[in-house]
Amino acid sequence: MRVFTRRAHASHAVGRRAGAVALLLSTLLAASACAPDSSSAGGSGASVPSAHTPSAEPAPAPTASPRSRVQEIVTQMDLAQQASAVVMGNTPGADPVAMRAMMSRGFGGFILMGSNVPATPGDLHAMSEALTIDPALPPLIATDEEGGDVVRLPWDDQPGADVLKAQPAGATRAAFARRGMLLAQSGVTVNFGVVADVASSPDSFIYDRSFGTDPAAAAERVDAAVRGEASWVSTTLKHFPGHGAAEGDSHHMIPSTGMDLETWRSEVAPPFLAGIRAGAPIVMMGHLAYTAVDAQPASLSPRWHQILRDDLGFRGVIVTDDLDMLVDSGDPAYADEVSDAVQAVVAGSDLVLALDGAGPDTAQKIADGLVAAVRSGALPADRLREAASRVVALRLDIADRRH
């Protein structure tokens, strides 16, 4: 994601929320079912039900299962709507009319950047409401609020990883709980804000934004950050499989490393695994090449998506980092953001992020490209449907949380 740095101006619902998302996704994609258990207890000390039978009340209408809700919505979408549902875009400025016009095209989400953020939390909340065409299926309203050097909301005065890495993990949980509350009060529902990268050294590009160089200490703080935000927003772990080992700035190049998979498992993976186990519903793929595993950037690599799903057990939404970063890398193989988007979804991403220099036309061009790829056979229709289903499941979870 394009990052512009600036300093900011001066609950225990994780199990419930993570469980809701896991239920939506596991029932849809793993198709497992279980029947509720019932039990009774008796004995001399047990309370005895009253013999009086209360007047009968109409039985509530049966609630659709999470799987059926998702299936019903996605089945009713045509191909173009499914393609739009897996695109998160942006249009510059704080004009809610222009932003709402963009979202009326059915995109799955909107990412808020600095130019989109008005002066007060109330104004931002009103803007976020304007972006919601259907309250029953709200779009993902996202930003990257890490704290420290990477902030979008001027009223976020909580520390980031640059400070928290030197403090007990409890401080991380408290800071991210406060940050999550500020985001929720501002109408933001998704935070691309938990950096799970293990920095290779204090000189690393990602060091100030990470929780440090020790995998175990970083994992403990990533766990705390996820649990802190969980009551308020959908948390995102980034930049999988790890920016710390792949040196360089991925905004201008494709950082690479020859690290093998076993070393990665022990030195880089622990914070991501900790965040997944803590219930993070989103993981962002980095434009990073681990050449001993796959020469392609992880964001376009089926192998890395498989590792995230099968080895780390992640069942949530996989989002790309900003696709324009691939274009800016200078590698001619990645010069077309539409082709990059198609490759990312084919590889296993569920949501593609079109950010830098983007607008409604950029997001629409990507959605149209996904449609064309399905029609040509380059993108399997089932893969697009699966991606749309995961995004819809997350959007439904957000809608349920609001109520």
Which residues are known catalytic residues? Answer: 251, 321
Q: Maximum distance among all alpha carbons in the chain?
A: 79
Residues in contact with 99: Cβ distance below 8 Å, sequence separation at least 6, in sequence order: 91, 93, 110, 116, 127, 130, 131
- Angstrom distance (rounded) from CA 341 to CA 357: 16
SS3 143: strand
How many angstroms separate the first and last alpha carbons of the chain? 31
- Angstrom distance (rounded) from CA 199 to CA 87: 30
Q: Got the DSSP string for 235-298?
A: EEEEEET-TTTS-S-TTTS--EE---HHHHHHHTSHHHHHHHHTT--EEEEPS-EETTT-SS-G
Does residue 230 contact residue 236 with C-beta atoms inside 8 Å? no
CB atoms under 10 Å from CB of 40, counted, come to 5
| C-alpha atoms less than 13 angstroms from C-alpha of 133 in its C-beta half-sphere | 14
- Angstrom distance (rounded) from CA 353 to CA 337: 10
